[in-house]
């Protein structure tokens, strides 16, 4: 899905934005409404040591929403069964526990034979430490910039991390 003619990290017109997905409520969707905007894609889980990152993700979503930024979450149960809930349970947990208003999409697989096509594209991008390939844990982050470039951040990079904030702000400039 990456067109090498435009360089690593750049996506073509047939990209993550065009891949069919479903909302957490089960409706057909895609990331197309976010094309030309800045979006932070995160694989999330409700029963993980990193789950409190929901609070920071929501704060980022609120802080930059008026500048064309959004966080989007993809629940995933591949890491020690830390997202066992139904769509309704996930939505309820996120909204009541962390006040999440950013979009949540269907529970998907981010690794292995059942890896969702969006993550086929995202996992081909290396993070600052050079890690490419499989998602390591819940809350791995991918910043899709308006120009189509993708930056990857490790799960331990918190939403408050100055490096992540600087990348978001640069993508909004």
C-alpha 135 chain-centroid distance: 11
Answer yes or no: are the C-beta atoms of 54 and 100 closer than 8 Å. Answer: yes
Cite the beta strand spans of 24-90 per DSSP E: 28-29, 38-44, 69-75
Q: How confident is the model at residue 148 (pLDDT cuts 50, 70, 90)?
A: confident
pLDDT value at residue 2: 39
Q: Is 76 a catalytic residue?
A: no
Residue 6 has pLDDT above 70, yes or no: no
Residue 83 has pLDDT above 90, yes or no: yes
Over residues 84-93, mean pLDDT: 96
Active-site choice (21, 41, 48, 122): 48
DSSP assignment string, 112-139: STTB-HHHHHHTTS-BTT---SS--STT
Domains in the chain, CATH or no CATH each: 4-172 (3.40.30.10)
Q: How confident is the model at residue 12 (pLDDT cuts 50, 70, 90)?
A: very low
Residues of the chain with pLDDT > 70, as a percent, come to 92
The pTM is what?
0.91
For the stretch 22-38, pLDDT in tens is 999 999 999 999 999 99
Mean pLDDT of all residues in the chain? 92
Q: Please name the residue that has the structure tokens 């409700």.
A: 46
Please tell me the distance from the alpha carbon of residue 155 to that of residue 41, in angstroms, as a whole number: 12
* Residue of 59, 50, 74 whose CA lies nearest to 123: 74
pLDDT value at residue 14: 54
pLDDT value at residue 15: 85
């Amino acid at each position: 899905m990456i067109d090498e003619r435009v360089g690593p990290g750049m996506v073509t017109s047939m990209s993550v934005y065009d891949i069919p997905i479903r909302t957490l409520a089960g409706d057909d969707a895609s990331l197309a409404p976010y094309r030309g905007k800045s979006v932070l894609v995160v694989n999330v889980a409700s029963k993980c040591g990193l789950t409190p990152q929901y609070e920071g993700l929501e704060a980022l979503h609120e802080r930059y929403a008026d500048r064309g930024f959004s966080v989007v979450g993809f629940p995933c149960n591949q890491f020690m069964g830390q997202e066992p809930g139904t769509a309704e349970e996930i939505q309820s947990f996120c909204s009541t526990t962390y006040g999440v208003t950013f979009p949540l999409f269907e529970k998907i697989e981010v690794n292995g034979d059942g890896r969702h096509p969006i993550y086929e594209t995202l996992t081909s991008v290396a993070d600052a430490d050079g890690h490419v390939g499989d998602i390591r844990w819940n809350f791995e982050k991918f910043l899709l910039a308006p120009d189509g470039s993708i930056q990857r951040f490790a799960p331990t990079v918190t939403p408050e991390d100055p490096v992540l904030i600087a990348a978001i702000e640069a993508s909004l400039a």
